[in-house]
């Protein structure tokens, strides 16, 4: 199976809620419930992933290589190769960014300074293709890279 090519649940930072608002208002309790559900969804997706032999270190290594590849393509302005590496929505956003940048510079130098400072999983989602067969599902991980880069 190939990836469906879309972001199931786009990641957004959660707004911090003061303690008094979280526990003493209806909206605070609603937000707490949504936060717990989100964490449980991520835990369930990662548990399913681990059953398949998922290696966090191997996946992170592959993700860093993909990050390097995509960042280099963006810096070089290589739109044809970039189209194959990202989703359609992301390609559209990156193409506009490259177009704006090219009005000032035709090319940008980019280099990742190794080792990566920190990588962490922000969210995991299980995307079922067949609701009756969980073996026909995708796990979508949202990662955060804390890196040093040379521009």
* Dist CA 138 CA 64 (whole Å): 20
What is the mean predicted confidence (pLDDT) over 75-101? 89
- In this prediction, residue 146 carries a pLDDT of 92
- In this prediction, residue 4 carries a pLDDT of 64
Query: Which H or E run includes 148?
Result: strand 133-150
Q: Is the pLDDT of residue 148 over 80?
A: yes
- pLDDT single digits (tens) 18-41: 999 999 999 999 999 999 999 999
- In this prediction, residue 2 carries a pLDDT of 58
pTM: 0.79
- Segment among 1-5, 84-88, 103-107 with least mean pLDDT: 1-5
Q: Is the pLDDT of residue 1 over 70?
A: no
- Yes or no: say if 68 and 112 are a contact pair by the CB < 8 Å rule: yes
* Dist CA 51 CA 70 (whole Å): 29
Q: How far is CA 117 from the centre of its chain?
A: 17
* Dist CA 62 CA 99 (whole Å): 28
Q: Is 65 in a helix, a strand, or coil?
A: helix
Q: How far is CA 25 from the centre of its chain?
A: 32
Burial of 70 (0-12, 13-18, 19+ CB in 10 A): middle
Token pair recorded at residue 122: 């922000």
Q: Checking phi first, is residue 77 left (phi over 0); if not, alpha (psi -120 to 50) or beta? A: left
What is the mean predicted confidence (pLDDT) over 34-50? 93
């Amino acid at each position: 199976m190939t990836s469906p090519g879309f972001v199931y649940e786009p990641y957004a930072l959660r707004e911090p809620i003061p303690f008094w608002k979280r526990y003493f208002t209806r909206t605070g309790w609603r937000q707490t419930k949504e936060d717990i559900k989100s964490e449980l969804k991520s835990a369930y997706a990662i548990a399913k992933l681990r059953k398949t032999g998922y290696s966090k270190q191997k996946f992170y290594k592959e993700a860093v290589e993909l990050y390097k590849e995509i960042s280099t393509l963006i810096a070089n302005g290589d739109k044809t190769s970039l189209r194959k590496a990202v989703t359609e929505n992301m390609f559209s956003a990156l193409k506009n960014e490259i177009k704006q940048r090219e009005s000032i510079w035709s090319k940008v130098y980019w280099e990742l300074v190794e080792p990566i400072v920190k990588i962490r999983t922000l969210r995991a989602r299980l995307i079922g293709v067949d609701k009756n067969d969980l073996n026909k599902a995708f796990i979508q991980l949202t990662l955060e890279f804390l890196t040093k880069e040379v521009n």
